[in-house]
Structure 1
Amino acid sequence: MGGMQVFTFLGGIGLFLLGMRLMSDGLRAAAGGALRDILAASTRSRLRGLFSGVLITAAVQSSSAVIFATVGFVNAGLLTLTQAIGVIYGASLGTTLTSWIVALIGFNVDLQALALPAVGIGMGLRVVAGSRRRQALGDAIAGLGLFFLGLDILRGTFADLGDPGMLAVLAGYGVLSLLLFVAIGMVLTTLTQSSSAALAITLTAAAGGLVPEQAAAATVIGAAVGTTSTAVFATLGATANAQRTASAQVIFNTVAGMAALAALVPLLELAHHIVGWLGLAAHKAVVLAVFHTLMMLLGLALMWPATPRLVAWLERRFRRGDDGHSRPRYLDDNVLATPALALDAARLEAERTGAIARGMVTAAISGGGPAQREWLEGEYRVLEQLTLTINEFANRIERSQSDPAFANSLAHLLRVTQYQQDMAERAVALAKLDAGGETRIDDPELAAAVDRLLAEAVRGIEATGEDLSAWDRQAVKAVRKGFDRQYQPIKERLLRAGAEGRLPVRRMVAVLDRLSAVRRALDQATKSARYLRKFQNAERELVDSGGADEVGLP
């Protein structure tokens, strides 16, 4: 291969990858929430998850995107690990569609006759379309054209090499040769970060006579195993759910690859028979496409009955990141590529930190000794760090989007976290006020009135933590008004008791400070819940409008 051929080859790969990216991104954005709804519907069973994985991967032509979306759904609690593994199996099976496209279209039609009109139509639609989804559809059509153009260049490059036996020496060492070609497939996929590109290279090289059939099949196996590197690299240091999901993909593809390698000869023979039964031309690329599908079906047959044990094994792993609640539970950089999932993750983490803040305030109101004050200070440090992490995550979402609606939506989230941090500060202050019995009231009747007021505050704070879908704003407002009605008369009674000498002035001031802090905490809890509800509503509007579905490849 001369220097010019090398550059032509690299250009072909570049056009192929660019086309894949445009097509994948465009199809996902054009589909809007439909793909998300399909994935959410897979919660009913592992079998539905399998079909969802096949359907979505075939639609968007990116198994990596489906894996990362699945991670987001697992983190959000919408998919169990068992259901997510079904989606992963389906995504691995769905990615074989690329092999069929290359095999059936790439060698039987004039690709340039398809490519150039597709690019023209797609970009024309992009220019004249008024809606984002139509523009995204234009990107997908143009991407399909670039996909075919890159494939045509690869096909021509390998056809012009002129030495069909140049790799025959490497293919002549039996098992060692097969392992070498498996490694080549893994390296190709890792370098291009796309199993589709590795498969296109392999199938066009085999069709051009550069690679013997068995060696090409081994390279297909390597590409299938190598594609797991994308998920592995992306989930290093991620949440435990992300690591478990990525591990499931690694295990499935590895098992499928090892089984296919062990049964390489009979699988290729079966592929030839299937090609004959289907009435297709016995072209190497077609045989390899059938082999690729058989490999994934073999892996599915082996792993499906073992899935319950796989789930149990994975759930015992990667627990370090879930110990306690000092680390984010839902925030994962992998879901940033899908804004709808990123917004979900941010909201869920904010709900979690809200529960921590409410628990701190209600515990501080109940009172306690030095151990409780130490616990509250520790909780405050945890919440402070989580708040910072949420805010940084929100900033990354905003930076990745050009739509100002995202900034407006995320502004509500930042208000929520600020109110929650203020609540935590009030809880620590309340614990310090209780130190040394400074808020003790000797008058039983007055003490009972203060206790009733504090109980009303606790009821109000707990009411703000109701599930957002069932949150009753009017009920929360009624509790707040009830607290205010009791607050002023009790404040006057405390001032009168201090003036009459029935309550030491120092204690009176401490009790008033305590009630003021509780009132402030209730106010902050109410505002936090209200703005979290606003954030959820804005999030839904973004998803419904399609703005939160414009995604990029992870």
Structure 2
Amino acid sequence: MFIMNGIGSLFEFAGGIGMFLYGMNRMADGMQKSAGGKMKSLLGYLTRNRFLAILVGALITAIIQSSGATTVMVVGFVNAGLMTLVQAVGVIMGANIGTTITAWIVSLGQIGDAAKALQPSFYAPLLIGIGAFVSLFSKKDRSKTVGELFVGIGLLFEGLEFMSASIAPYTDAPIFSNAFKIVGSNPFLGIIIGIVVTAILQSSSASVGILQTLAMNGVVTTNAAIFITLGQNIGSCVTALISSAGTTRTAKRAACMHLLFNVAGALLFGTAGFILFCIRPDIAVHNITGVEISIFHTFFNITCTAVMFPFAKLLVKLSGIIVPEKRTEQIEEISDKEELEISRHFDDRILGQPSVAVERAKNEVINMGRLAYDNIEIASRAVRENSQELVDRIYELEKEVDYYSKYLTSYLIKLNNQSLSDKQHLLVNDLFHAVIDIERISDHAENLADLTKYKIEHDIVFSQRGQDELRQLWDKVLCCFDRAVVARETGDEAAIRDVYRIEDEVDDLEEELRDKHIKRLSDGKCLPSNGVVFLDILSNLERMSDHAKNVAECVQEEISSN
């Protein structure tokens, strides 16, 4: 009977951990979906100063409930060239502060011990019920997100209740007191346990929550809790260190700075704690509570940030020594320099935060559009000037646009498989279409380069009238595509209307110019070889405006769906 009870308690504890971890994941996902749209605005503050970067790091980590995940995202931003190491230091420091929010959420269960009605676990089943009902039956995307958040919070507290209930009958067992006595008397053992548990769970928030659950049952001594918590902070670096494999040297240094920061804090507090516990052994053997762990966890991270803040640049230098420059550093086996540079813009680590990743993808589509615009603008000059140098430049830009198309398509496929809202899914799908249309526009620029090359080889020169007509059409096409890119970037309805209007004008003008040129050919005022090239150019320009209209139509669809 005793064995069966023991096995039952073990199963209950395992189930409690499962509910706690799953609940924390659902809660973080719900919070990220609710506030994720504002994360790109928060990240914009990073360019200002390190203090703001700390605040941003704390806020983002409070939303996503994991300092490790925030640091992985930072590694991705650094790898993509979106963030400097000095900015990264601030975010990493802030992430350690933000991760303490989970410890305080867990502590709520103990704060309300005086009255059952104040305990979060009392409301947990109700939250799960309401959340599940809203998630299943609501048609609004935002309501489903709130329901998911409620389910996560409820499961988190139910998981804590399960863990606590399974341990309660055994709190007087000698194994607990002996185990924590050994851990408390050996700082290195406590730190190693904290590192290992956090590395396995891939979350310091989760491992601190489990430690608090044990503490709530009165089996954790103060010295053991302090040393394990210090190890948990170091263990949170494991995810980022693993993630930095195969990245740029700068990204590796970002992960290294996270480790240096947490190790320095552990050494500082570990030494101070060891001395204090030697002087006051009564404090060392005191049974710590979950609330007291939250207080220490918060005090530790805020103090470390305050102490290390003035030495941020020193952390950057130390990371440079630990991760030295390599003469032949290669990230990927990509021989083309432009492709290598573009590939860095699409770091998979950013996918961990879908809202930020969607905005990043949108920005890269805009960059691709601007590159394609430059290409067709150069093509207009190449045709007029019969310049081989400009033709070569068109081929170079077309290759870069193709690289963007390659990496954006792959990135958007991965992004579409993430946890996205309906609105975000629509945007990702429309970005797919935008990539295709922009790539086609650049292909038409390449066609024009081929026609220019043919003109040069066959010494074809258009008449002044022909050049003026082409310039007139070209100006409209350039304006149409520019407004399409603006519409994609800003969602401006005026820009969308401009695209529709100009595209109609392009169609009418192309038809008019085609009729005029055919008449010139019929009247013998133009050589047939010249005429074929001229008509091909008209056709390519008209197709460009069609693709620009496709881009604007997708934006219009998004606006209509809101």
TM-score, scaled to structure 1: 0.76
1:463 is the counterpart of 2:467: no
The 1:443–1:509 alpha-carbon spacing in structure 2 relative to 1, beyond 3 Å, is closer
Residue 51 of structure 1 aligns to a residue whose secondary structure is helix
Of 22, 27, 34, the residue aligned with 1:23 is 27
In the TM superposition, what whole-angstrom CA distance separates every residue of 1:265-315 from its partner, at most 9, and x where no partner exists?
357699999x9xxxxx97365655444334323321233113356568989
Bigger helix fraction? 2
Asked whether 1:435 is paired with 2:437, we answer: no
Could you say which structure has the greater relative contact order, defined with CA pairs below 8 angstroms and 6 or more residues apart? 1
Q: What are the superposed Cα offsets for residues 223-265 of structure 1, whole Å, 9 maximum, x if unpaired?
A: 1011122234445457899767655533432332233334333
Question: Retained in 1: the 8 A contact 2:34–2:145?
Answer: yes
Give the corresponding residue for 1:414: 432
Please report the RMSD computed on the Cα atoms of aligned residues, expressed in angstroms: 4.7
Task: Report the CA distance shift for 1:527/1:6 in structure 2 as closer, same or farther (over 3 A).
Answer: same
Any conservation in 2 of the 1:125–1:134 contact (CA below 8 Å)? Answer: no
1:363 counterpart (359, 375, 378): 378
Q: Which one-letter code corresponds to 1:253 in the other structure?
A: N
Residue 182 (structure 2) pairs with residue 163 (structure 1): no
Indicate the residue corresponding to 1:348 in structure 2.
363
Distance 2:255 2:437 in 1: 36
Whole-Å separation in 2 of the counterparts to 1:270 and 1:347: 59
1:491 aligned residue: 514
Amino acid at match of 2:92: I
1:203: how far off?
Answer: 4.8
| Cα distance in 2 between the residues matched to 1:372 and 1:475 | 29
Counterparts of 1:531 and 1:269, CA distance in 2: 72
Partner of 1:300: 305
- Whole-angstrom distance in 2 between the partners of 1:270 and 1:42: 43
Per the alignment, residue 229 of structure 1 pairs with 238
CA gap 1:163/1:181 in 2 versus in 1, 3 angstroms: same
CA distance in 2, matches of 1:328, 1:271: 56
**Aligned AA (1:449):** D
Q: Give the counterpart letter for 1:412 in structure 2.
A: D
Identity %: 25
Match of 1:138 in 2: 150
CA distance in 2 between partners of 1:206 and 1:473 (Å)? 60
What are structure 1's unaligned runs of at least 5 residues? 276-280, 542-554
Equivalent residue, structure 1, for 2:196: 187
Cα distance, 1:159 vs structure 2: 1.7
2:228 to 219, 226, 230: 219
Following TM superposition, by how much is the alpha carbon of 1:430 offset from its aligned partner in structure 2, in angstroms?
Answer: 1.5
Q: Residue 471 of structure 2: which of 449, 452, 457 is its match?
A: 452
Give distance in 2, aligned partners of 1:439 and 1:490.
23
1:551 is aligned to none
Work out which of the residue numbers 530, 537, 543 in structure 1 matches 2:552.
Answer: 530
Deviation (angstroms), 1:458: 6.3
Q: Partners in 2 of 1:128 and 1:9 — Cα distance?
A: 27
Q: 1:95 aligns with which of 92, 96, 99?
A: 99
Aligned to 2:130: 125
Deviates more, 1:333-342 or 1:97-106: 97-106
One-letter identity of the residue aligned with 1:125: I
Deviation, 1:456, is 1.9
> Is the contact between residue 271 and residue 291 of structure 1 (CA under 8 Å) also seen in structure 2?
no
Residues 537 and 90 of structure 1, relative CA distance in 2, 3 Å threshold: farther
- Number of aligned positions between the proteins: 531
Using the alignment, how far apart are the partners of 2:523 and 2:275 within structure 1?
99
Q: Does 1:197 align with 2:206?
A: yes
| Alpha-carbon distance change, 466 to 19 in structure 1, aligned in 2, over 3 angstroms | closer
The structure-2 alpha-carbon separation of the partners of 1:168 and 1:335, relative to structure 1 and needing over 3 Å to count, comes to closer
Report if aligned partners of 1:154, 1:201 keep a CA contact under 8 Å in 2: no
The question of whether the paired residues in 2 share the 8 Å contact of 1:358 and 1:461 is answered with: no
* SS, match of residue 283 in structure 1: coil
Q: Give the Cα–Cα distance (whole angstroms) in 1 for the partners of residues 168 and 542 of structure 2.
A: 76
